[in-house]
Structure 1
Amino acid sequence: MKPSQFAKGFQARPDTTSSEKRTALDRLNAIDGLVQRNDAKSTDVPGRSSQPDLTVVSTSEEPALPQAASESAEYHAWRVEHGYRPGQVIELGLKTIKPSPFNPRHFYLKSSIAELAVNLAKQGQQQAIHVIPDYENPGSYFVSDGGRRVRALKEANKDSVKAIVIDLPIGIQSYKLGYDLNVQRDSQTVFDNAVVWKRFLDDKHFQSQKELAEHLGLDESTVAVALSIAKLPEAVMHEMVARPDRFGSNMAYQVGRYHSARGADATLRLINKILSDDLSTRQVADIVKGRATAQESAKPAGRQRYAQRLDIKLDGMTVGDLKSYGDDRLELRLRGLTREKRDDILKQIEQMLLPKQA
């Protein structure tokens, strides 16, 4: 795919912040329009395809299928053939689904997929994935968002998946749809970015990290840090992917610097020590600079080691942890919650701490 095709239809905006989450919030209104276009004005219609792998989930009569001004000719032709309306949830055979070459995710934890598979087997699929038709191979679809759910459904021995078919070219726009949604769910990691962004540059979709940053609407420094992490072997990155609460971009950057000087085996030992001794980024930076060794605790005076630590998960994703110190201290850290979930947790904690009525 040529660079001009890759960026077709996308107009870069000036950088306004270094926060990936703020950048994603700026773009999500446009994404909502892609997956829900005309949904408020029209209702679902029966699918008219004879293909067994496409089934409409909800239907009501609506014979007209006008072409929107911004709609591509390929997508409109596909809609007419299948009687599909934008935003409509349909059921597709899993065998028709394939990964996109512009998937923002690279790492999928087996434990996370297995846990989600158990949940899907019990409760069914609650959220539709987003797919893009492969017009060159009719009857097959690229996943734009929902690769983890597809893998879990296969693990659960399911045959179909609920999906919304969107009008996007396979390229930067489809990448950014999945990327923005992942950022909002806190499931996009710096390690995914590192591998995928390096591939974008290696494949000449962008001529420089500056151009890549501009297209993504991020600070160039954010891209530069990710690309430095991309120099790590995937085996080393795998050891950090499972703990995004401990290995953010700053910590991973320091680990990358250590790897450049000491190699993979020493780096794996350092990662284990970071986890076992709860080392801070500053402590790891001191090890990298030679001010301390990986064998030293290097803990500042007065810093208390927690006695017990419990990972807290929500819908199969780690959202924080609960640590206990000594006999009388608890430390709860949560992130990525909805406002409603946060307020509900606060109310429950308040109720627990209220004095009991006599």
Structure 2
Amino acid sequence: MKPSQFAKGFQTRPDTTSSEKRTALDRLNAIDNLVKNDAPAVTKPAASLHEVPIAPAADDEQASNESPEYRAWRRAHGYRPGQIIELDLKAIKPSPFNPRHFYLKSSIAELAVNLAKQGQQQAIHVIPDYANPGTYFVSDGGRRVRALKEANKETVKAVVVDISVGIESYKLGYDLNVQRDSQTVFDNAVVWRRFLDEKHFQSQKELAEHLGLDESTVAVALSLSKLPETIMQEMVARPDRFGSNMAYQVGRYHSARGVDATLRLINKIVSDDLSTRQVADIVKGRTGPQESAKPATRQRYAQRMEIKLDGVSVGDLKSYGDDRLELRLRGLSREKRDDILRQIEQILQSERK
């Protein structure tokens, strides 16, 4: 399979020490070329886009880098690249190349409450369905679309990007998800297996090279694709406990013991805070899942407080003993992260005085 010119721009030399997050950040410049950060203000709903004046012809230099389909659509609708518009939610449909497969109902419900109170703060990315005018595929923002529907909203803020629906649009959404830690190994397991089954890639190696990932990273994810979705759903609900390594051990256990025993093991991992090494010992038969595993080397926390921003869980604060605190946050904007860091620094500095 010959990669397109756009896909070539995404390819990077595989780095055996890089994480998926680093690979995605290395491709951030390519994403910035598609979605401008200095987008204009929101315009009226796209149902009225035909009434917007046609863009002037002075954008020929910009248009030279666009696909013919996007250029024709943009000029017909007077759309400026990076412009945020409002679209009818009924016109939005999921992409067959969505990088996400799992969406937690509880997470969608929390976001729906937040959107109902605060409104949509971040635009989604969509691709026009040129074969069916007036409809759009979601490239990034499937969770927000689901939450807006849950909140009974009728429109969604969106940026229309020039990218074809396929592996290219998958990588755009994938990279954005990895940067904000919302992409899981379980999403990858299901979607990457489908890519191979549908012959988008001829081999595991070709898939890894195209995504700029280690082949071992792809191999671990693909090994999980054999798990029933009921088991994956249980682990998706606890991303803090089930990363790639832990999920791999659970997958090995399932191969030997089946669904029911594996579900019991997952419950024990959560209730007893088992480490990956302890689970590996269970898999190897050194201890049984119902036995008292040897004490964890890490200290158990004394108290845990869930932290939410605008009603959405972003992490937790744990206390250990008399003198230790552990704060873990994820999914923050850079501005919010820096603001929290400044406040922590101020607290610590005031304690020294």
TM-score (normalised: structure 1): 0.88
Note the residue ranges of structure 1 that are not aligned, 5 or more in a row.
none
Question: Could you tell me how far apart the structure 2 residues matched to 1:76 and 1:293 are?
Answer: 62
Q: 3-state SS of the aligned residue for 2:139?
A: strand
| Alignment check: 8 A CA contact 1:131 1:143 kept | yes
The answer to whether the 8 A contact 1:277-1:297 is kept is: no
Identity %: 78
The alpha carbon displacement at 1:332 in A equals: 2.6
Match of 1:31 in 2: 31
CA distance in 2 between partners of 1:45 and 1:238 (Å): 37
Residue in 1 that maps onto 2:56? 63
User: Aligned residue pairs: how many?
Assistant: 347
Q: For residue 10 of structure 1, what is the aligned residue in structure 2? A: 7
Larger displacement relative to structure 2 (103-112 or 316-325): 316-325
**Counterpart pick for 1:284 among 275, 279, 282:** 279
One-letter code aligned to 1:242: A
Kept in 2, the 8 Å contact 1:54–1:93? The answer is no
Q: Residues 299 and 310 (structure 1 numbering): CA distance in 2 closer, same or farther, change over 3 Å?
A: farther
Deviation per CA, 1:173-208: give whole Å up to 9, x if none. Answer: 100110000011100011111110000001111111
Match for 2:260 among 265, 269, 272? Answer: 265
Q: Deviations over 1:23-67 (max 9, x none)?
A: 111111111111229x79xx78988x9x726489xx899533536
Of residues 162, 170, 175 in structure 1, which corresponds to 2:157? 162
Q: Which residue of 2 aligns with 1:139?
A: 134
Is the 8 Å Cα contact of residues 224 and 248 (structure 2) preserved in structure 1? yes
Q: State the SS of the aligned residue for 1:118.
A: helix
Deviates more, 1:198-207 or 1:322-331: 322-331
CA distances 1:73-94 after superposition (whole Å, capped 9, x unpaired): 1111111211111111111100
CA contact (8 A) 1:44 1:62 kept: no
Aligned-partner Cα distance in 2 for 1:273–1:319: 24
Q: Comparing 237-246 with 335-344, which one deviates more in the overlay?
A: 335-344
The structure 1 residue matched to 2:80, chosen from 65, 78, 85, is: 85
Structure number with the higher helix fraction is 2
Deviation at 1:271, TM superposition (A): 0.8
Question: Do the aligned partners of residues 238 and 316 (structure 1) sit closer, same or farther apart at CA in structure 2, a change above 3 Å counting?
Answer: farther
Larger mean CA deviation between 347-356 and 234-243 belongs to: 347-356
Call closer, same or farther: CA 1:119–1:190 in 2, change over 3 Å: same
Alpha carbons of structure 1 residues 55 and 236: separation in structure 2 relative to 1, 3 Å = farther
CA deviations 1:231-250 (Å, max 9, x no partner) are 11111010111211111111
Which of 172, 189, 198 is 2:193 aligned to? Answer: 198
Alignment of 1:1-358 (within 5 A): 3-4=1-2, 7=4, 9-11=6-8, 12-16=11-15, 17-36=17-36, 52=47, 54=49, 63-64=56-57, 65-66=59-60, 68-300=63-295, 303-314=298-309, 318-326=313-321, 329-335=324-330, 337=332, 340-349=335-344, 352=347, 354-355=350-351
**SS of equivalent residue, structure 1 residue 86:** coil
CA distance in 1, matches of 2:122, 2:296: 48
C-alpha contact (below 8 Å) 2:43/2:85 kept by paired residues = no
Letter in 2 for 1:94: L
Q: Name the aligned partner's letter for residue 21 of structure 1.
A: K
SS in 2 for 1:32: helix
Where 1:270 maps in the other structure, the secondary structure is: helix
- Which secondary structure state, in structure 2, belongs to the residue aligned with residue 9 of structure 1? helix
Partner letter of residue 6 of structure 2? G
For 2:108 and 2:43, locate their aligned partners in 1 and report how far apart those are by CA, in whole Å: 33
Q: CA deviation at 1:268?
A: 0.8
Check 1:116–1:303 CA distance in 2 against 1; reply closer, same or farther (3 A cut). closer
8 A Cα contact 1:7 1:172, kept in partner: no
The CA distance in 1 between the partners of 2:113 and 2:331, in whole Å, is 23
Higher mean C-alpha displacement, 289-298 vs 219-228: 289-298
What is the distance in 1 between the residues matched to 2:88 and 2:100?
22
Structure 2 gap ranges (5+): none
